[in-house]
Structure 1
């Protein structure tokens, strides 16, 4: 299996009007279906699961939401299925996304969302109970260490981060990609990262996070990390 280049690349914070606001992504969210891909500069394509993103939360999602604590910040909320599910449970939640189309779709579901980058000033900084980086959003900005540091500043002391990782791979890939569709329409190139669980846990340990758990569900992989205070022993299930 091709795991791609591993060399670090510069990763400036993405602007609020950046590549995820490009037409292929907006059009896919508008229709609720793909095909849509992230394309590396060498031509390799990563399919994006638009149909699942635009559906209701599935069993794997609901397991993530069951583990959330306190007020929840969904970073890169996309079309809003997790924000809507939490809001429907009466939980305090906010979705943020750089895509105008994603935020608009989330708001149409009756769920709260703002068009912001995670690197922008955000409401409730330092007070969120849980932050979510689901659907590959550990890749935001192409610099996992910087993203973990920023997320830690958003959480309250001892807050929880739940991140989705690449299943079954010890992958640490940082590349430049762009969004493309089956017609070949493309957005602007931007830095991105993909991590397997072992790589995420290495970054987390170096940054002072404590591993709470890691698990798989529905063919997807997740890890829960705690900031600022020791956690219980790591587990997997």
Structure 2
């Protein structure tokens, strides 16, 4: 039972295969990494390409994920990672310079406004969120995703947000979009606390 209703692996509208992200950093990933400043919390780090990529660039970075095999993969790449839920207790609360939501992880928890609200408590007051979103024209969806990794599947609440729907969401969470990026048919926004 998740969110008050029975869920089967066949029901989720989104399938997230973590091994899909188990690859080297590409041109778009590098553009995202360049927007991370200061100590960075990689939320939903998956197999750790961003966590490892930031560490290689000299950042203090911690990856967190609820999938044990993803945390192991991140550590195998040389990245620091913990099996933690972003809504639970985390180290460094209030001191992170960047919260990274790559690969659509703005959908974690199924409520982007609540997720961004939680990130505000994790960030330094001058901190930022770097979030990858879906392409313009994508319908906003709140449902479930099947996360697949290491032969196991976990069903979690999930949301999908397109580039043209992001402003209303971030405004409700007390953020503002300060940068937009389109690279290789992928989209990203940088958010800062609204004045």
With normalisation by structure 1, the TM-score equals: 0.73
Counterpart of 1:191 in 2: which secondary structure?
strand
Larger relative strand fraction: 2
Unaligned 5+ runs, structure 2:
none
> Is the partner of 2:189 in helix, strand or coil?
strand
Structure 1: runs of 5 or more not aligned: 1-9, 13-18, 20-37, 231-237
**SS class of match (2:100):** strand
For the pair 1:124 / 2:104, whether they are aligned, the reply is no
- Does the residue aligned with 1:190 lie in a helix, a strand or coil? strand
How many pairs were matched up?
190
Contact 1:167 1:220 in 2 (8 A): yes
Query: Do residues 219 (structure 1) and 163 (structure 2) align?
Result: no
Q: Per-residue CA shift, 1:109-150, capped at 9, x if unaligned?
A: 111111101011001001000000111111111011110100
Give the TM-score, by structure 2 length. Answer: 0.88
Q: 1:199 to 1:50 in 2, by over 3 A?
A: same
Contact 1:136/1:165, CA 8 A, preserved across alignment = yes
* TM-superposed deviation, 1:187: 3.3
Larger Rg: 1
Q: CA deviation at 1:215?
A: 1.4
Q: Which of 89, 101, 104 is equivalent to 2:69?
A: 101
Deviations 1:50-102 (A, max 9, x none): 33x11111110111111111101000000000111111111111100011101
Q: 2:64, 2:16 → 1: CA distance?
A: 22
> Does structure 1 residue 50 correspond to structure 2 residue 19?
yes
Question: Is 1:171 equivalent to 2:139 in the alignment?
Answer: yes
Pairing 1:203–2:169 present: yes
Say yes or no: does 1:142 pair with 2:110. yes
RMSD after superposition = 2.4
CA distance 1:11–1:146, shift in 2 (3 Å): farther
